Amino acid sequence: MHIEFLLPKGSNSGIYFQSRYEIQIFDSYGKDDVAYSDCGGIYQRWDESKPKGEKGYEGISPRVNATLPLGEWQTYDVIFRAPKFDQNGNKIKNAMFEKVVLNGQIIHENKEVTGATREG
């Protein structure tokens, strides 16, 4: 999938694959240390039953910060593989971001996601 986007200052959004697995869109230009919540991150999963401070888990940071300055068009090129299920509806293979390229730089390869990422 090829996606083009333009970031206004303070942007925070995302692209959902199958309405479940989010790649972040965020105003992260110039940050040295990027996290799952920055542009290109695979957003974390969430479990309300876990103790405070431990509810979020399995977020994946991008390999590099490939975000361009505000006002420049940016691109994602994503190869995503949906989870696979057997004839009884049991999941037999997790979803995977096979390759995510942000502005020409590979930021993820073969990143498995075990379940839906947190919305919001």
pLDDT in tens, 19-71: 999 999 999 999 999 999 999 999 998 888 889 888 888 899 999 999 999 99
In this predicted structure, the answer to whether residue 120 has a pLDDT above a threshold of 60 is no
The whole-number pLDDT of residue 25 equals 97
Q: What is the dihedral of CA 97, 63, 32, 12, to 10 degrees?
A: 0
Mention every residue, 6+ apart, whose C-beta is less than 8 A from residue 89: none
Judge if pTM exceeds 0.95.
no
The pLDDT confidence band at residue 109, using thresholds 50, 70 and 90, is very high
Domains parsed from the chain with CATH numbers:
2-113 (2.60.120.560)
99-108 confidence digits (pLDDT tens): 999 999 999 9
